[in-house]
Structure 1
Amino acid sequence: MKIVQLASCALLAAGITASVDAANVDAGKSKAMACGACHGENGVSVSPTIPNLAGQKIDYVIKQLKAFKSGGRKDLMMNAIATQLSDADIDDLAAFWNSLPGAAGTAKSSVPDNIVKTRVNFPENYQKDFTYYYTIDFADRKQVRKYYANPAAVKAARAGKPLPQGSAFFVEVFGAKLDDSKNLVKAGDGALAPDKLMFYTAMETQSGWGNDFPDLLRNGDWNYAVFTLDKKARPGVNQGECLACHKPLDKDSYIFTLNQLQAKAK
């Protein structure tokens, strides 16, 4: 029995070694460019809520990426990224992360400059030039969001065509109204009652705007932005989170509310 067990362990170890040897650290480094938006270019993450990958064990990384790819482990952004990876890609990434020196628990990376940089400007006349088309309640965030689209997006939606370059969307983000007991207040139609305007978000596509993003993240040529109440772009916004979230929507021009826009545009 012991001989059989030892033989089985030897075969397993040989299989793991073969997988590691077949992996290409340099290829993994190239593929990891997209991961750097959240996990850091050197495997040290940009946020305390995101794990470091530098020095992580190969088998663990492979197991987690395959779980994200299959849907066995749920995370909107990671599922969107992992479904684009082949088994060879996963092996290469695991080898690359493992090759890096581990980081101290308090270490933190900056979001890469190409991921932070946005070309979207605040649309000064959006209330006049854009079309309001939908409102979404986010009860878990205690928010109410009102959605607007510019003429180029509305025209394409009306015709049932993909959204062209020059399309832009703008969102007013309100805090949801709370009663004295901090419970959400609903309006007469059952929707959440909006309270004070908190900030704005926007997305726009223009030719070449997506060139600086890795293919694993790129949403065509869309860029994203968050604006403060004084109409200034919020610094340090990680577009990687927006890009990963919208990535699976390529057939809908990367827009979550395309159906609602089409219904309004008719």
Structure 2
Amino acid sequence: MTKVRAIAVATLLALPAAQAADIEAGKAKVAAVCGACHGVAGVSVGETIPNLAAQRAGYIEAQLKVLKDGTRKNPVMNAIASQLTADEISNVAAYFASLPGAGAAAKSDFMPQLTKTGVTFPEGYDKSFVKYHTINFPATKQVRYYFANKAAVDAARAGKDLPNGAYLFAEVWSAKLDEAKNPVKGADGFFVADKQLFYTAMARDAGWGKDIPDMLKNEDWNYAVFTLDKKHRPNVNQAECLACHKPLDKVSYTFTLKELAAAK
């Protein structure tokens, strides 16, 4: 063996061995958080979310790393992956890889604590709430009108965090389309509303976040989607809302705090 080769071998032998992934720790993390969307057994809760059971560990680990550093963009997963340590990423990847694959039609149930919501429909909101913002959604050809109750408006105007009792509400409308199927804009630049589709809501009260996993929890905020007959839309998974709003902890977990503070 040459001297150079001997030094190289000695150097490699001196390096610490790579720590093996802890599958049981990965299982615990999945049961606490990841299972909310991908299922505790790696079978997702819906068709738009990939199954991870039997996926290669290296692939899962690589995807979590680029989601963590933001190279790959996904608002929900960026928020979750950013909270995972390198060891947790390896453990979760190893756990999913250890599971048997699932049939194409298989689906997991939602975590019950993430389908339960304290948010109820705000009867009379059109008279008691302040309409404070409008947003176009070109990708879905929708326009949304945002409303807030007095507790939320008063706190935002005062530069304070939104308190328990705050309620933000949105009407979701399809946009009127022209002959080329493009949304028609009004003089104000917003899409012209055509048909109302549903409502979305976020509100908070004491204790509403107590059963929500820490990596998803938005203090005591809960979320809801309502049908046009003012009923909770069934099978709404709050995990996606919670994860998307999770990075907004400095602005009361709210995308529209600035506009709310300027409400008249």
TM-score, normalised via structure 2 length: 0.90
Between 57-66 and 220-229, the greater mean CA deviation after superposition: 57-66
Unaligned runs of 5+ in 1: none
Identity %: 58
Query: Structure 2 residue aligned with 1:29, among 14, 27, 30?
Result: 27
Deviation at 1:25, TM superposition (A): 2.0
Contact 2:130–2:263 at 8 Å: present in 1 too?
Answer: no
Aligned runs of 1:143-154 on 2, under 5 Å? 143-154=142-153
Whole-angstrom CA distance in 1 between matches of 2:67 and 2:208: 29
Partner of 2:162: 163
Whole-angstrom CA distance in 1 between matches of 2:156 and 2:188: 27
Provide the secondary structure at the position in 1 that maps to 2:37. helix
Whole-angstrom CA distance in 1 between matches of 2:196 and 2:73: 32
Aligned runs of 1:1-266 on 2, under 5 Å? 18-19=18-19, 21=20, 23-32=21-30, 33-264=32-263
Whole-angstrom CA distance in 1 between matches of 2:135 and 2:62: 36
Whole-angstrom CA distance in 1 between matches of 2:228 and 2:50: 32
Whole-angstrom CA distance in 2 between matches of 1:235 and 1:244: 19
Contact 2:143–2:190 at 8 Å: present in 1 too?
Answer: no
Report the AA paired with residue 252 of structure 2.
S
The one-character-per-residue Cα deviations of 1:109-136 (angstroms, maximum 9, x if unpaired) are 1222111111110000111221110000
Provide the secondary structure at the position in 2 that maps to 1:200. strand
Whole-angstrom CA distance in 2 between matches of 1:150 and 1:189: 25
Whole-angstrom CA distance in 2 between matches of 1:37 and 1:69: 18
Contact 1:176–1:185 at 8 Å: present in 2 too?
Answer: yes
The one-character-per-residue Cα deviations of 1:82-116 (angstroms, maximum 9, x if unpaired) are 11111111122112212222212222112221111
Unaligned runs of 5+ in 2: none
Compared with structure 1, are the counterparts of its residues 67 and 181 closer, same or farther at alpha carbon in structure 2 (3 Å cutoff)? closer
Deviation at 1:213, TM superposition (A): 1.3
Between 84-93 and 250-259, the greater mean CA deviation after superposition: 84-93
Whole-angstrom CA distance in 2 between matches of 1:161 and 1:51: 39
Report the AA paired with residue 166 of structure 1.
G
Deviation at 1:36, TM superposition (A): 1.2
Contact 1:41–1:112 at 8 Å: present in 2 too?
Answer: no
Whole-angstrom CA distance in 2 between matches of 1:72 and 1:239: 25
Between 94-103 and 246-255, the greater mean CA deviation after superposition: 94-103
Deviation at 1:202, TM superposition (A): 0.5
Whole-angstrom CA distance in 2 between matches of 1:149 and 1:189: 21
Query: After the TM superposition, which segments of 4 or more aligned residues of structure 1 sit over 4 Å from their partners?
Result: none
Whole-angstrom CA distance in 2 between matches of 1:91 and 1:129: 50
Matched residues, number: 254
Whole-angstrom CA distance in 2 between matches of 1:18 and 1:102: 27
Provide the secondary structure at the position in 1 that maps to 2:134. strand
Whole-angstrom CA distance in 2 between matches of 1:60 and 1:180: 44
Whole-angstrom CA distance in 1 between matches of 2:140 and 2:263: 26
Provide the secondary structure at the position in 1 that maps to 2:118. coil
Whole-angstrom CA distance in 2 between matches of 1:124 and 1:190: 30
